[in-house]
C-alpha cells in the first residue's frame, strides 16, 4: 500500500504532489484510515 488512499490522485504525475498534500491533509487522512 502506498499509503495514499486518495483515488483522485491515481495519476503518476499527481503523485508528485502527494507528499505535499499529505502534510496538509494529515488529520483528514488519519481520520479516514482509522475508520
- pLDDT of 11-22, one tens digit each? 655 555 555 555
- pLDDT of 18-34, one tens digit each? 555 555 555 665 555 55
pTM beyond cutoff 0.75:
no
Pairwise CA distance, residues 27 & 12, whole Å = 24
8 band by pLDDT with thresholds 50, 70 and 90: low
Residue 32 has what pLDDT?
A: 59
Cell of 28: 483528514
* Residues 6 or more apart in contact with residue 33 via CB below 8 angstroms: 5
2 band by pLDDT with thresholds 50, 70 and 90: low
Residue 31 has what pLDDT?
A: 56
Amino acid at each position: 500500500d502506498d499509503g495514499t488512499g486518495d483515488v483522485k490522485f491515481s495519476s503518476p504525475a499527481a503523485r508528485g504532489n502527494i507528499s505535499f498534500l499529505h502534510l496538509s491533509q494529515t488529520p483528514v487522512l488519519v481520520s479516514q484510515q482509522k475508520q
